[in-house]
A and B are shown apart, each in its own frame.
Chain A
């Protein structure tokens, strides 16, 4: 469903992605790992359509459609979701109000009526239970004064509500204690189906103990330098990234 071909992207003239190739099929879980500054978050932003990044070469396709001309909200309407590494705050806008707006905007773009309030409430109840979210939390201003863990849980809650086709989780494990990590991972596992796909961007192998990937890719200097199965993550945990760096240098 998602196909990335020879993707090059730069910011302020500096090239960060230098030819990424990746294909993600429905039902798959991919993990993208790599040292700091290897381009992991940039890849996530470029897929989501953030304007400050310029795609200089290559393409990103969703269901065979080139996304180059599609706005960030247009990509969201097509079922792309990005869980942010640093979710932003919107004071005065409750979590419920925000997600309601997001859902109805997507429905509108896809020619549907607003979701009836009753259905919305039911869905909110189900998904918040799934992620063990306190109902009081939902009436708080979006991300304002949230702890790191609450922010990440809120991201996954939004993902659960929006039911995306392709979900990219950017460092969703960072800032989570072990209990929160288990809850979040559990939520993601329950949301997984044969019709959607998940891309996990992570620094550590820890998350992959809970969400088992089908493929692991290592990003270094803006390129995927190694791909493999879930064992690759274990190898990385053991040896660090240095052996790969050396391997690619050779």
Chain B
């Protein structure tokens, strides 16, 4: 008899989330709960200047008055914000030490994650910053980058060393008042990456941040601030994993990108937070605000491969403020089992001749729900603005859902806005065709999904495209009968 769906499922149940290990590292963790005292304590722990403490407190006061948003097409038990610890740091992390001094347990964890912080990355030409729980533990290639005047460091260090830049830009793209999670993040963010590319500089390597939630009952609130000065270029990648746990973990990040006149930023994300078990237990709540500001002739591309998290709420956006600026969003969101994703983008056209492209690919399997939500807004002064949106959904089985919520607001007659959407299903005929050519069902699904996602995968830096392809395969194992 042929390999049945049941057999496939059984076999796959034994395959676990690959990154679900927990590393036993001694850590310094705050008691659970959130108050002004905790916010001040975080700020103190980070030895922050007073302006930063006040900034956080203001955010905290704003957050207290806000309500958790409910408009997304996701259903979950709201996290108890008083049951989370807002600061956890591996005890042996000391950013001033060199890699040789890093706790061997930590290094072992990186190895398991497939991150080599030294030679290997050198060959791949990638500079890495690694954030475990709440602090940044290792940043590589600081020196090489410094020669070009590029600043790439944990944001906690940037607050000390480059307060003028942080002060000038932080909160300008995602204000404290923006939304519930952004306000929370502004109050309690513990680390993240800071990056500044000087005028006219082309960053010679990929910059990368790796986020990891290790401790139980901790939230991760990282903050990334990336400034590309006039006519500069940078390609940036972030990756995320977390241990498998039965309880939900909260991740509420804020990413702000500033592309000054003529600058170009490519920002790629491979998000693989723990998606929860087969029964829908546990998993990461991924509530993230990402936004870019594009000045004149600037270009920002968001590329994301989202395979993890129990619940995703995320809309990387572009404010096309400058004339001739360009915004792009390429996304693959895969949901399986009980995962829920509500993700998409906002393209706000303010300047003249601004252009945006949205390519969104949603793959749903199991009992998951996958929604695309996007806004294209053409303001009254945005003469000759153009947008092209394409949203494709691929379904596997009969128990999952794919939804599309495109919002289009046009206030200028010269605008050209196009929207295309398709929904397809992996059919038994497609699988049989592949089988007949000697390709197993699992491999056939991988092939079909990779083909479906090709336009987006092609946008990723080469070495990550291969990683992302593998990730797609792993995420969808056991999803079709």
Contacts and interface: CB of A to CB of B under 8 A. Distances in A.
A76 B451 contact: no
Contacts of B98: none
B2 A77 contact: no
Given A90-B448, A92-B451, A69 B1 contact: yes
Interface in B414-472: 427-430, 432-441, 443, 447-448, 450-455
A84 B447 CA distance: 19
A51 to B, nearest CB: 5
B436 A72 contact: yes
Given A68-B1, A71-B3, A90-B430, A76 B450 contact: no
Given A92-B453, A106-B438, 20 more contacts: A49-B435, A50-B432, A51-B2, A71-B1, A71-B3, A72-B435, A73-B435, A76-B437, A76-B438, A87-B433, A88-B429, A92-B450, A92-B452, A93-B448, A93-B450, A98-B447, A102-B434, A109-B438, A141-B451, A162-B438
Nearest to B430: A88
A105 B439 contact: yes
A162 B453 CA distance: 27
Contacts of B441: 73
Q: Which 5 A-B pairs have the closest CB atoms?
A: A92-B451, A93-B451, A76-B438, A72-B435, A102-B437
A48 interface: yes
Q: What band does the interface of chain A fall in when counting residues whose beta carbon is under 8 Å from B? A: 20 to 34
Interface of B: 1-3, 427-430, 432-441, 443, 447-448, 450-455
Interface of A: 48-52, 68-69, 71-73, 75-77, 81-82, 84, 87-88, 90-93, 97-99, 101-103, 105-106, 109, 141, 158, 162
Query: Most chain-B Cβ atoms within 10 A of its Cβ — which of A50, A106, A109?
Result: A50
B433 to A, nearest CB: 5
Contacts of A162: 437-438
13 contacts: A49-B436, A51-B428, A52-B428, A69-B1, A72-B435, A73-B435, A73-B437, A76-B436, A77-B438, A90-B451, A92-B450, A99-B437, A101-B439
Nearest to A75: B436
Contacts of A82: 436
B438 A102 contact: yes
A98 B446 CA distance: 12
B348 to A, nearest CB: 30
Contacts of B436: 48-49, 72-73, 75-76, 81-82, 84
B355 to A, nearest CB: 24
A89 to B, nearest CB: 8
A72 B1 CA distance: 9
A90 B447 contact: yes
Contacts of B453: 92
